Amino acid sequence: MSRRKIVAGNWKQNGSKVFLENFMSAIKEVEDVDVVISPPFPYLEKASALSAKLGTVSVSAQNASLYSDGAFTGEVSVEMLKEVGVEFVIVGHSERRELFGESDLVVADKVSKVLASGLTPILCVGETLEQREADETIAVCSRQISSVLDVVGVDTFENVVVAYEPVWAIGTGKSATSKEAQEVHAAIRALLSDSLVGLGDKVSVLYGGSVKANNAIELFSQEDIDGALVGGASLKIEEFNEIIKAAGI
């Protein structure tokens, strides 16, 4: 893959069938910006059908199982996601890491599983407030990315989308400044290019954490920020459209 502008909306555990229909018909396409929406599992098939009809967005799942099939109550496999038209899978969101105990190794194995199925993982990395205050931001993000590189290999990583999401900025209304985000994005690209020459220029690196219509232009103006993984503001159709528009500027 090559570096693309991407605006992805992660609905988390929100939405309804009616909301999905309204949302899909209201999305406005912007040239050179890929729009991805990530509703909960029950809405994915309908989202894919609407996406095929309208052609404006791609569909992402918020998680996937490590396993293809078997006795894993509550899990959904990448094969099932693919069958209903899903193209992306968010992997390693901090809520999965923190609330559901997903370790770096589990996240790496899930990225590997998603890649093997031909879907595109959106790999989330990011530090807690405590880690930022201890000046560990780059070390934490590097560790989270390196554990994936170790499992999937440098040659495959170009098919991964990375989302830098400082945990302290998620859902708090307190976004990282564009300078803070840019520093980490540049470090992520440097780490990738240190692993394989040119890799950092091939991978789309999104920012996530309180992205709103009023800070999107400033964030997207940064050299190494390719777009956003948006939570709360992706549930507000007009605001999400503004963020998509900002990515196209």
Ligand X SMILES: O=C[C@H](O)COP(=O)(O)O
Site of interaction with ligand X (CB under 6 A) = 10, 93, 165, 170-171, 208-211, 229-233
- Residue 66: DSSP 8-state: S
CB of 213 to ligand X, least distance (A): 12
Q: What are 234's two structure tokens?
A: 């992706």
Provide the annotated binding site. 10-12, 171, 210, 231-232
Residue of 93, 158, 185, 239 with catalytic role = 93
**Rounded Cα–Cα distance for residues 115 and 112 (Å):** 5
Strand (E) or helix (H) holding 219: helix 213-220
Between 30 and 170, CB nearer to ligand X: 170
Let me know if 93 is a catalytic residue: yes
Closest by alpha carbon to 90, among 166, 11, 16, 21?
11
Between 38 and 112, CB nearer to ligand X: 38
Provide the annotated binding site for substrate. 10-12, 171, 210, 231-232
Let me know if 45 is a catalytic residue: no
Residue of 102, 127, 165, 239 with catalytic role = 165
For 87-141, give the secondary structure using H, E and C: CEEEECCHHHHHHCCCCHHHHHHHHHHHHHCCCEEEEEECCCHHHHHCCCHHHHH
CB of 10 to ligand X, least distance (A): 4
CB of 103 to ligand X, least distance (A): 19
Residue nearest ligand X by beta-carbon distance: 231
Catalytic residue set: 93, 165
